[in-house]
């Protein structure tokens, strides 16, 4: 019989062997202790009001410009199952100037959704980290918890610098989490992310041609929803959709059609007058979701984002009411989010606001008032990336009046792509039509029935089905199942 000392030694060897195997399986065996320490420093143990979960989460800052002191705030969730085998998905919200934490994570597709009362968080059964390792970032600086120590940076923001900083963020984030470098990488987003996502995709696509193996990003494609893609067709589609959905009268519709030319930036007085009547309707119903209620809480103010000069679309963005913020299926939920993310205990748990930012966290930044560059169309970039072999999906919730399905259909028509499978229904697992899809040569377009601007908020099951099929590169079911 082995002595007690020998037995203890065998137990110790067995423990270290099993631990080493676990580390190897997780892809961490080649990572230095300093990097593991950085990851552990960003580990979020538990948020106030959070339900128990089995997966790990991390949050903190990644510097994108040391000399200016620019840093972007991120929140990362490991996949629920088989983390080491799942792709990595970055989610971006738009605005510009709106938070991917406030909208994407807390109200749409993240694991923890904000709710009224206690507990403040509930688990999202259709969280997208059931299909991927899920990364959110607040971009650009000045949005949410992201900050700069050089105040003039806020005055120089635009599409170009946002894409460059987002790319730098990714490169530096992969240095902190090198175990994900080999994973297939995808980007998704909505609204003004119709600019952010293709522009970041282009930077990655171009830079990948010349970088070292260490900095290469295993980028496979992107999916964007209810996205701003082309000023002319987006604005035309908004008006046509409003008339077709009985939002505006024949007179207002005809006044706009006769007096407005959306291919030019400067509008005539008659056009402006007609558009004011059009926007007036959205004072009483939700532009982002035509058929859901507005918030009637008397303690809640109308949610208008700071108007940003120079942003796309050049014509509509001059109207204050264009900058109304989305509300969501619970039209008051954004107010609960702002209370939650401004709590000191929440910020401490997230390693956020470490520089004591001199303004409260908000869904959309009130500090960004000027945008330096916003191309009128994303179609040249999308065409380039399609030709480069990237997977590209575009989807549209069909009750959104802000960037409606009508606008997106007009926009995609301008691409002139050949159709490989024409307009056909796709189905959910309840044998119901989930929407319609058309497959072009290099691009898939999907409509989502009954969804407003933030598709995962309104129809989470359908949205999850969408992201699963996109990541797997599988067509949506064309027959009931």
Catalytic residues: 191, 400, 453
Buried b (16+ CB within 10 A) or exposed e, 372-388: eebbebbbebbbebbeb
Which token pair is 227? 């996205």
Judge contact between 476 and 465, C-beta under 8 A.
Answer: yes
The whole-angstrom distance between residue 100's C-alpha and the CA centroid of its chain comes to 6
User: What is the end-to-end Cα distance of the chain in Å, rounded?
Assistant: 62
Residue 86 in tokens:
């799942």
Tokens of 16: 């270290």
Contacts of residue 452, Cβ cutoff 8 Å, sequence gap at least 6? 286, 288, 289, 290, 292, 326, 329, 397, 399, 400, 458
Q: What is the dihedral of CA 351, 54, 131, 105, to 10 degrees?
A: -30
Compute the distance between CA of residue 161 and CA of residue 140 in angstroms, rounded to an integer.
8
Residue 246 · residue 417 · CB < 8 Å: no
Are 60 and 122 contacting, i.e. CB atoms less than 8 angstroms apart? no
* Helix ranges, 177-316 (H): 193-207, 231-244, 250-259, 269-281
237-to-96, 190, 231, 388 alpha-carbon distances in Å: 20, 17, 10, 29
Distance CA 116, CA 333 (A): 7
């Amino acid at each position: 019989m082995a002595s007690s000392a020998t037995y203890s030694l065998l137990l110790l060897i067995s423990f270290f062997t099993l631990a080493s195997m676990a580390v190897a399986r997780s892809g961490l065996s080649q990572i230095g202790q300093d990097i593991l320490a950085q990851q552990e420093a960003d580990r979020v143990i538990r948020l106030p009001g959070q339900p128990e979960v089995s997966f790990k989460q991390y949050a903190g800052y990644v510097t994108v410009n040391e000399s200016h002191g620019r840093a972007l705030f991120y929140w990362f969730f490991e996949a629920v199952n088989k983390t080491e085998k799942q792709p990595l998905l970055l989610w971006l919200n738009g605005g510009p100037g709106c938070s991917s934490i406030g909208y994407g994570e807390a109200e749409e597709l993240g694991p923890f959704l904000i709710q009224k009362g206690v507990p403040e968080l509930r688990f999202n059964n259709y969280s997208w980290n059931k299909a991927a390792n899920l990364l959110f970032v607040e971009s650009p600086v000045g949005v949410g918890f992201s900050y700069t120590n050089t105040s003039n940076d806020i005055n120089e923001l635009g599409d170009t610098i946002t894409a460059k900083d987002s790319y730098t963020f990714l490169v530096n984030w992969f240095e902190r989490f090198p175990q994900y470098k080999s994973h297939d990488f995808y980007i998704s987003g909505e609204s003004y992310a119709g600019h952010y996502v293709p522009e970041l995709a282009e930077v990655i696509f171009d830079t990948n041609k010349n970088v070292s193996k260490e900095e290469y990003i295993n980028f496979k494609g992107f999916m964007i929803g209810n996205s701003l893609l082309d000023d002319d067709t987006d604005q035309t589609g908004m008006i046509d959709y409003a008339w077709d959905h009985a939002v505006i009268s024949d007179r207002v519709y005809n006044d706009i059609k006769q007096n407005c030319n959306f291919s030019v930036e400067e509008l005539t007085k008659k056009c402006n007058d007609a558009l004011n009547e059009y926007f007036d309707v959205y004072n009483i119903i939700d532009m982002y979701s035509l058929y859901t209620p507005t918030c009637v809480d008397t303690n809640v103010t109308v949610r208008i984002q700071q108007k940003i000069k120079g942003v796309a679309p050049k014509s509509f963005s001059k109207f204050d009411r264009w900058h109304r913020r989305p509300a969501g299926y619970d039209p008051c939920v954004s107010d609960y989010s702002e209370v939650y993310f401004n709590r000191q205990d929440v910020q401490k748990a997230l390693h956020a606001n470490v520089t004591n930012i001199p303004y409260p966290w908000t869904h959309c930044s009130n500090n960004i008032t000027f945008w330096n560059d916003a191309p009128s169309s994303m179609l040249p970039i999308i065409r380039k990336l399609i030709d480069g072999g990237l997977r590209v999906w575009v989807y549209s919730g069909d009750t959104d009046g802000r960037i409606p399905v009508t606008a997106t259909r007009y926009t995609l028509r301008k691409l002139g792509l050949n159709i490989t499978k024409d307009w056909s229904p796709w189905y959910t697992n309840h044998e119901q039509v989930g929407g319609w899809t058309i497959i072009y040569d290099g691009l898939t377009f999907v409509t989502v029935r009954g969804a407003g601007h933030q598709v995962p908020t309104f129809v989470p099951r359908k949205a999850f089905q969408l992201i699963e099929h996109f990541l797997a590169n599988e067509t949506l079911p064309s027959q009931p199942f």
